[in-house]
A and B are shown apart, each in its own frame.
Chain A
Amino acid sequence: MAEVKLFGNWGSPFSRRVEVALKLKGVEYEFIDEDVYNYKSPLLLKYNPVHKKVPVLVHNGKPICESLVILEYVDETWEKGPSLLPKDPYERALVRFWTKFLDEKCVPTLWKTCWSIGEEQEKAKEESTELLNILEGTLSDKKFFGGDSIGMVDIVANFISYWFIILQELAGLQVLTKEKFPKLGAWIDDYLNCNIIKENLPPKDKLTAYFRARFEAAAAATAK
C-alpha cells in the first residue's frame, strides 16, 4: 500500500506548497512537523543529508527533496486529479522558467528586503520592485499564473501572497501594494480565496508572532 510521509514545518512556505499539491491530488499523507530552527530530527537528516531541510516527501520509503522537484514528482506520480503542470512542452517550459525565477530571484530578494537595513535595504527594495514588475507583466490578463485555475507557478508563488505581505507590514514597508501592482493584487485576492489555499496556510497570528520575535531578535543582535 502506498505510504506517503511529508517532513515539513508549519510556518514554511516551501512545506505548504507540497501540502497544497498533495491535497489537490487527494493524496493521504502523514505530516511530520520538524522544528527546523532548533532541532532537526535524525530521520530528516537521514532523508535529506545534502541540504538538511524541509520539505522532504517520503513515498514508499524513498525520499524526494527540494519543493520544486517534489511538486513535479507529485504531478507525475498521481496522474488523476488536477494537473499541476500543463501538457504542452512549451507551456511546461514556461512553468519551469517562472518557478525557477520565483525561487532563485524573487523569494531571496523579497526576503532580504524585509531583513536588511539602510543602503542594502534600499537596493533590495529596488530589485524587488523590478522583479515584481516582471511578475505583474507575466500575469497579463489571466486570473492565475496557471490560467483559469491554480497551477504550479501559483503554488510556488505562495510566499508572495501571504508570507511576504505579513513580513513587509512588520518591516514597515510598502513594496507590494495593490496600487503599484494591480494585477498581482487581484491575483493575491483570488488566490487566498481558493479553498485549497486558504485552508492550508499557517495561522496569521502565529506566523506574525513568530516573525515579530525574529525581527526583535535581529534588532537586538544589531544593537549589541
Chain B
Amino acid sequence: MAEVKLFGAWGSPFSRRIEVALKLKGVEYEFIDEDLFNKKSPLLLKYNPVHKKVPVLVHNGKPICESLVILEYIDETWEEGPSLLPKDPYERGMVRFWSKFLDEKCMPAMRRALLSRGEELEKATEESTELLKFLEGTLSGKKFFGGDNIGMVDIVANFISYWFIIGQELAGLQVLTKEKFPKLGEWMDEYLNSNIIKENLPQKDKLTAMFQARIEAAAAGGGGPGGGGGGGGGEGGGGGVAPK
C-alpha cells in the first residue's frame, strides 16, 4: 500500500506548497512537523543529508527533496486529479521558467527587503519592484498564473500572496500594493479565496508573531537563526532558515 509522509514545518511556504499539491490530488499523507530552529530530527537528516531542509516527501520509503522537484514528482506520480503542470511542452517550459524565477530571484530579493535597512533596503526594494513587474506582466489577462485554475506557478508563488504581505506590513514597507501592481493584487485575492489555498495557510497571528521575532532579531543585528526572516526563509522553514 502506498505510504506517503511529508516532513515539513507549519510556517514554511515551501512545506505548504507540497501540502496543497497533495490535497489537490487527494493523496493521504502523514505530516511530520519539524522544529527546524531548535532540532532537526534524525529522520530528516537521514532523508535529506545534502540540504538538511524541509520539505521532504517520502513515498514508499524513498525520499524526494526540494519543493519544485517534489511538485513535479507529485504531478507525475498521481496522474488522476487536477494537473499541476500543463501537457504542452512549451507551456511546461514556461511553468518551469517562472517557478525557477520565483524561487531564485523573487524570494531572495523580497526577503532581503524585509530584513534590511538604509541603502540595502533601497536596493532590495528596487530589485523586488523590477521582479514583481515581470510577474505582473506575465499574469496579463489571466485569473491565475495557471490560467482559469491554480497551477504549479500559483502554488510556488504562495510566499508572495501571504508570507510577504504579512512581513512587509510588519516591516512598515509598501513594496507590493494593489495600486502599484493591480493584476497581482487581484491574483492575491482570487488565490487566497480558493479553498485549497486558504484552508492550508499557517495561522496569521502565529506567523505574524514568528516574523515579529525575526524582524526584531534582525534589527538587533543578530539576524535570527540563519537570518532567513520574513520572506519565509529558504527551503528550510517558517521564516528563518538561511537562504538555500
Q: Could you tell me how many residues of chain A have their Cβ less than 8 Å away from some Cβ of chain B?
A: 24
Report A58-83 CB contacts with B as 1/0, cut-off 8 Å.
01001011101110110011000000
Give chain B nearest CB distance to A65 CB in angstroms: 6
Q: Which residues of B contact A204 (CB under 8 A)?
A: none
A104 sits at the interface (CB 8 A) = yes
Extra inter-chain contacts (6) besides given A73-B90, A104-B244, CB under 8 Å: A64-B97, A66-B100, A73-B89, A90-B59, A96-B69, A97-B69
Q: How far is the CA of A59 from the CA of B89 in the complex (A)?
A: 11
Are A100 and B90 CB-contacts (below 8 A) given A64-B97, A65-B97, A89-B76?
no
Are A76 and B89 CB-contacts (below 8 A) given A66-B97, A96-B69, A97-B69?
yes
Give chain A nearest CB distance to B84 CB in angstroms: 13
A209 sits at the interface (CB 8 A) = no
Give chain A nearest CB distance to B133 CB in angstroms: 10
Q: Which residues of A contact B59 (CB under 8 A)?
A: 90
Q: Could you tell me how many residues of chain B have their Cβ less than 8 Å away from some Cβ of chain A?
A: 24
**B73 pairs with A69, CB closer than 8 A:** no
Kindly specify which of B29-37, B60-68, B205-213 makes contact with the partner chain.
B60-68
Give chain A nearest CB distance to B194 CB in angstroms: 26
B147 sits at the interface (CB 8 A) = no
Q: How far is the CA of A69 from the CA of B96 in the complex (A)?
A: 6
**B73 pairs with A90, CB closer than 8 A:** yes
Q: Which residues of B contact A68 (CB under 8 A)?
A: 96, 100
Q: Which residues of B contact A93 (CB under 8 A)?
A: 64, 69-70, 72-73
Give chain B nearest CB distance to A43 CB in angstroms: 18
Give chain B nearest CB distance to A151 CB in angstroms: 16
Are A92 and B90 CB-contacts (below 8 A) given A66-B97, A104-B244?
no
Q: Which residues of A contact B104 (CB under 8 A)?
A: 104
**A73 pairs with B64, CB closer than 8 A:** no
A1 sits at the interface (CB 8 A) = no
Q: Which residues of A contact B92 (CB under 8 A)?
A: 72-73, 76
Beta-carbon nearest neighbor of A97 in chain B:
B69
Q: Which residues of A contact B62 (CB under 8 A)?
A: 90
**B93 pairs with A72, CB closer than 8 A:** yes
Are A62 and B90 CB-contacts (below 8 A) given A97-B65, A101-B50, A134-B50?
yes
**A100 pairs with B93, CB closer than 8 A:** no
Q: Which residues of B contact A65 (CB under 8 A)?
A: 97
**A69 pairs with B77, CB closer than 8 A:** no
Q: How far is the CA of A196 from the CA of B69 in the complex (A)?
A: 28
Beta-carbon nearest neighbor of A70 in chain B:
B93
Report B66-86 CB contacts with A as 1/0, cut-off 8 Å.
101110110011000000000
Q: What are 25 residue pairs bridging A and B, where the CB atoms are less than 8 Å apart in the complex?
A: A64-B93, A64-B97, A65-B97, A68-B100, A69-B93, A72-B92, A72-B93, A73-B93, A76-B92, A89-B73, A90-B62, A90-B64, A90-B73, A92-B72, A92-B76, A93-B70, A96-B66, A96-B69, A97-B64, A97-B65, A97-B69, A100-B66, A100-B68, A100-B69, A104-B104
